[in-house]
Amino acid sequence: MVLAFLELAQGEFTDLSLQMLTLAGDIANQMNTGVQGVLVGMKERTAAGDVSAYGISKLHVIEHEDLADYAPAAWAHGVLQLMDILDPKVVIAAGSDRGNELLARVGVRSDLPVAANCIAARAHEGLQVTRVRWGGSLLEEAGLHVFPALLTVMPHMLVPVQPGSIESETDIIIFNPTLSEDDFRVRLVAREPAGEGVSLTNAPVVVSGGRGVGSAEGFESLETVARQLGAAVGCSRAVTNNGWRPHSDQVGQTGAQISPDLYVACGISGAIQHMAGCRGAKHILVVNTDPEAPILQRADYAVIGDLHEVLPALSAEIEKLRRQ
Amino acid sequence: MLAEDAREIITRNLGFAISPHEECAVEAAVQLVEQHGGTTTVLTMGEPAAVDQLRFAISMGVDEAILIETDGVDRDAAATSAAIVDTIRVEQSGDAPFDVLLFGNESADAGNYQVGLRVAHALNLPCVAGIKALQIHADGTAVAKREVPEGWEVYELVLPAVFTVKEGINLPRYPLLRGRLAAKKKEIKIYPAPERGDAGLEMMAFKNPPETASQVQILGEGPSAAPVVAALLQKLGVV
């Protein structure tokens, strides 16, 4: 059995969870077995909905009075206790912050290896995985020779699993783990809201600038277009290194990994580490003076020109359209 | 470029640098000592040439440096962590245990997301992963923050503790020439890496990702392309 760690946001499975289920289903098929899901938390039972449409026959919900909010060691301990009962061949999670941390903690406590950033797997002498290295510059073929095989899935490389027809209701099974004080040495004590403005992670459109913007002030023309489109402003690592924008705006391997409907990349050359942050975008529009810039390889649309001239002209055109 | 057997990368023409998250971890360590006193030690595991990166960290303000020296072949995350744990145990066997252990959240090359967590577990220390803010208080407690889409998660814990750091926690300083010259003279402690055993995660081969043909549609040149772009934005439903 393949046990899939699922994550919810606003009561729905995250897109990364659905991408992960694509690989989970593929592995289960190869092993002639099924996928069961696991959720952690007190509110998840009602939020779970019917997951049989995603090919999940049984959904385990780990509930404990102290699991109202995130406590990573306790979550991992709960999952480990469930694994002891279910004896899964594979435990798989999305390559989100939580997915990577949870599986790392499960691997540590059970002394098992973990393969992170996987995009494919073959059931052969255990599990052979293909994982992404150096942010995507290279792929690695690696072997996990002991069961259960633990792996996380590289974000935005696989298509999300499509809901099928609901043939039978999912069996929801509540599991109450035994947790101790030791499991709560690290726990979330408070939340602080994000700053003003459109959130980079959830924005449908992101207008992003790179070295070509030239200065902090140079972002004004990007801000204007972003305001007109209800978009968030992003940037490349060169920009944060120069102190032009805060790191929270950074898109890339060591920044945010986003999947907007449209990513407008202005003055960004498109190093692989940057593309690791925006490859989930449905469409990429480039504004760049260099027709040979690597980002054009990954773009859908491009304007060859100086962003400081193109963006103000674009703002004026958008304004015209809105007045019509 | 890959070696013929596809199990190695030919690094002859490549430059090496500290991974971004780790460079921020070094900066965070230096800042903590600037604020609270004490000393910092930087540690890495790798081939002899990795002393260059250790010297860079010293020039940023780190006091001591340790290299766990390998033959250049990477270990998996479990073996790497075990070697680091052994070294930490030796280093703090005297009267000066570490109060704070900082790691990068994940390395830029291997991206395993687990070395810091494995070390914390072996040393029975609490660990907060992926932090972008850290404050240490005089009473020996720490407040660490993680950035999430909705804002920030705040964690409190008691030192000693392990933190894995994400880029953005600070903007690492660029060392002055004077510091870089002084770092050249600093003695670096060398520990031999343990023999390689069977890897839990066995690296079998590297390969290049498939080439994708460019599908780009050039909309025009310069500001005169603006009407075409605006029409596209309308077609995509974003205007």
CB contact under 8 A, B113 and A316: no
C-alpha torsion angle, residues B108, A211, B52, B193 (rounded to 10): 0
- For residue A166 the two structure tokens come to 């609901």
CB contact under 8 A, A229 and B238: yes
As a whole number, the mean pLDDT across chain A is 93
Q: Does residue B84 contact residue B45 with C-beta atoms inside 8 Å?
A: yes
Say what angle helices B20-36 and B51-60 make with each other, to 10 degrees: 40
| Residue A122 clears pLDDT 70, i.e. is over it | yes
CA-based nearest residue in chain B for residue A206: B238
What are the pLDDT digits (tens) for A141-169? 999 999 999 999 999 999 999 888 766 77
- For residue A100 the two structure tokens come to 């990577």
Cα–Cα dist A222/A229, whole Å: 11
Three-class secondary structure of residue B112 per DSSP: coil
pLDDT value of residue A166: 67
| Residue numbers in B near A286 (CB within 8 A) | 216
CB contact under 8 A, A202 and B149: yes
As a whole number, the mean pLDDT across chain B is 92
pLDDT value of residue A46: 64
Average pLDDT over residues A10-39: 94
Cα–Cα dist A270/A34, whole Å: 40
- For residue A147 the two structure tokens come to 């069961």
With respect to residue B41, please indicate whether it lies within any of the assigned structural domains: yes
Give A122's strand partners.
Answer: A128
With respect to residue B51, please indicate whether it lies within any of the assigned structural domains: yes
With respect to residue B203, please indicate whether it lies within any of the assigned structural domains: no
| Cα A196 from chain centroid (whole Å) | 23
What are the pLDDT digits (tens) for A205-260? 999 999 999 999 999 999 999 999 999 999 999 999 999 999 999 999 999 999 99
- For residue B71 the two structure tokens come to 């033959």
DSSP state of B231: H
Name residue A128's amino acid. Answer: Q
pLDDT value of residue B109: 84
| Residue A43 clears pLDDT 80, i.e. is over it | no
| Residue A84 clears pLDDT 70, i.e. is over it | yes
| Residue B2 clears pLDDT 90, i.e. is over it | no
Point out the residue among B129, B167, B239 whose CB comes nearest to the CB of A247.
Answer: B167
DSSP state of B200: S
ipTM score: 0.91
Domain count, chain B: 1
pLDDT value of residue A218: 97
CATH assignment of the domain containing B95: 3.40.50.620
pLDDT value of residue A167: 66
What are the pLDDT digits (tens) for B140-174? 999 999 998 889 999 999 999 999 999 999 999 99
Å between A247 CA and nearest CA of chain B: 5
Average pLDDT over residues A285-291: 97
Given CB atoms, is B185 within the 8 Å cutoff of chain A?
A: no
Total beta-carbon pairs less than 8 A apart between chain A and chain B: 242
Cα–Cα dist A283/A260, whole Å: 8
Average pLDDT over residues B42-47: 96
How many C-beta atoms lie closer than 10 Å to residue A78's C-beta? Answer: 27
Cα–Cα dist B112/B45, whole Å: 15
With respect to residue B122, please indicate whether it lies within any of the assigned structural domains: yes
Domain span holding position B155: 20-192
- For residue B101 the two structure tokens come to 């252990």
With respect to residue B227, please indicate whether it lies within any of the assigned structural domains: no
Point out the residue among A231, A296, A317 whose CB comes nearest to the CB of B226.
Answer: A317
Given CB atoms, is B203 within the 8 Å cutoff of chain A?
A: yes
Kindly indicate the confidence band of residue B197, based on its pLDDT and cuts at 50, 70 and 90: confident
| Residue A42 clears pLDDT 90, i.e. is over it | no
Kindly indicate the confidence band of residue A45, based on its pLDDT and cuts at 50, 70 and 90: low
Interface of A with B in 129-148 (CB under 8 A): 131-146
Q: Is B136 exposed, middle or buried (0-12, 13-18, 19+ CB in 10 A)?
A: middle
With respect to residue B175, please indicate whether it lies within any of the assigned structural domains: yes
Q: Would the pTM count as exceeding 0.90? A: yes
| Cα B207 from chain centroid (whole Å) | 24
Q: Does residue A136 contact residue A121 with C-beta atoms inside 8 Å?
A: no
**Percent share of chain B, pLDDT over 70:** 99
DSSP state of A248: G
Phi/psi at A104 (nearest 5 deg)? -60, -45
Among A323, A78, A249, residue whose Cα is nearest residue A180 = A78
Cα–Cα dist A90/A107, whole Å: 12
Q: Does residue A113 contact residue B114 with C-beta atoms inside 8 Å?
A: no
Three-class secondary structure of residue A91 per DSSP: strand
With respect to residue B133, please indicate whether it lies within any of the assigned structural domains: yes
| Residue B5 clears pLDDT 90, i.e. is over it | no
CB contact under 8 A, B129 and A137: no
With respect to residue B36, please indicate whether it lies within any of the assigned structural domains: yes
Q: Is A323 exposed, middle or buried (0-12, 13-18, 19+ CB in 10 A)?
A: exposed
Sign of the C-alpha dihedral, residues B66, B70, B75, B78?
Answer: negative
- CB neighbour list of residue B209: distance below 8 Å, 6 or more residues apart: A136, A137, A138, A139
pLDDT value of residue A137: 86
Average pLDDT over residues B209-222: 90
How many C-beta atoms lie closer than 10 Å to residue A120's C-beta? Answer: 17
